[in-house]
Amino acid sequence: MSTNKPAHGTTEDNIEIQKLFHALKVDPLAWAKWYMEEANKRRRPSEILAQHRQEAIHIIEEHKGLNPRVFGSVARGDDTINSDINIMIDAQECSMVDLGRMRTDLQKLLGVPVSLIPSDFMFPQIEQATTVQTIPLDKFPK
């Protein structure tokens, strides 16, 4: 079944949408923000992180974190829409409050769960295995 309707809405369609927003008393900007948040929920975390990489780096640095590295499914490229984002940081200068705020701010930015792991909290065997699979955040995606 084909239609002769253009791929993007016509001016009349846009006017009808504007009327609908007005009738429903919906702020189009608030709706657009909600829609983008919902769209982010349906994207792979690797895609979201790639889009917001610089902001994520800024948040980590703001809370005294250094050398952020992505590991796990996001680093391997086999993450799904249900995956979290694993980030290892050097946190020698971070307090527990800094770490908590950093994680909260990253989750607000990215809209997905974030596991934030200070490198000095890891057992040497795990850190060694993880280091092989890490990607520096400033180089993400591969």
Contacts of 16 (CB under 8 A, 6+ apart): none
Listing DSSP states for 5-22 in one string gives S-SSPPHHHHHHHHHHHH
DSSP secondary structure letter of residue 138: G
- CB-based contact 88:60 (threshold 8 Å): no
Among 32-41, 68-77, 105-114, 125-134, which stretch is predicted with the lowest mean pLDDT? 125-134
Asked whether the predicted pLDDT for residue 2 surpasses 50, the reply is no
Say what the pLDDT of residue 103 is.
98
Instruction: Judge whether residue 8 has pLDDT over 70.
Output: no
CATH 3.30.460.10 fits 45-139, yes or no: yes
Domain boundaries, the chain: 11-41, 45-139
- Position 1 scores a pLDDT of 46
